[in-house]
């Protein structure tokens, strides 16, 4: 659930109409990502869930981060 929310927030960040919305959605994504990682770390599966969530969320986070950097740089 937290991982899905994080991924969705990062997608919404890229699609946001204004810089303020882009920053807010990215911040939401970071908050949800932290929760997802904390909960996944408690699974007793040798870290498999943690790695899977990290990889899946990062696939959305990386492009959102780049888009946010461009927005803040005025490009």
pLDDT in tens, the chain (75 residues): 999 999 999 999 999 999 999 999 999 999 999 999 999 999 999 999 999 999 999 999 999 999 999 999 987
C-alpha 43/C-alpha 66 separation (Å) is 31
Q: How many CA atoms lie within 13 A of 27 on its CB side?
A: 6
Are 71 and 24 spatial neighbours (Cβ–Cβ below 8 Å)?
Answer: no
């Amino acid at each position: 659930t937290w991982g899905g929310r994080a991924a969705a927030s990062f997608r919404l960040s890229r699609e946001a109409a204004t810089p303020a919305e882009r920053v807010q959605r990215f911040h939401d994504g970071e908050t949800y990502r932290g929760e997802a990682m904390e909960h996944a770390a408690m699974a007793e599966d040798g870290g498999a869930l943690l790695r899977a969530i990290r990889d899946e969320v990062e696939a959305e986070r990386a492009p959102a981060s780049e888009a946010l950097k461009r927005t803040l740089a005025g490009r």
